[in-house]
Structure 1
Amino acid sequence: QASLSHFWNPAPRTGPFTSFFRQRHVREAAIAATNGIRRGGSRSTLAFGYPVPEPAEQEFELPPEILNEDSIQQSQRKRRRLKRRSLGG
């Protein structure tokens, strides 16, 4: 995993704070997306003007306390009950 200093290395500011973005066109695109002027479609995800690293993929597993016989049966009963209700019965 990359260190935070790779993504966050602020330059010392001499004037007042105006924006997180260094490039004006990137700032305008981000503001347009939040104001509903332009829908998403950005190729990069930014946070405070810096790219957010992609999360590592990992296999999802339910915790053992959820995946026990009682919980499975309870879930099956609930699904059958909801299905009967949706069929109008």
Structure 2
Amino acid sequence: MTISTDDVRRLLVSDAADAVLILVQGHTDVVPAQQLDSDEYRGALQVVSRSDLIEHTHGAQLSEQQMAEEAAKLDSEISELGA
């Protein structure tokens, strides 16, 4: 599994208002959206933004199980892309 429950948790608790979960060079990271244009993150795959995840879950406080389910969905979407 590429996307873990911990990745979803890190995204949701990030201090950056515009936090984005990305996949870059085989690992995940949570960064502010404006950093996506930097040399360090150029070419990164944007998995989901915190605002999109919150909207998708209707702003609900997610349990561990729900975070695991969201991680599995995101991981499946990435697998379908062949990333």
Q: TM-score, normalised on structure 1?
A: 0.24
Greater helix fraction, Structure 1 or Structure 2: 2
Higher relative contact order (CA 8 A, sep 6+): 2
Greater strand fraction, Structure 1 or Structure 2: 2
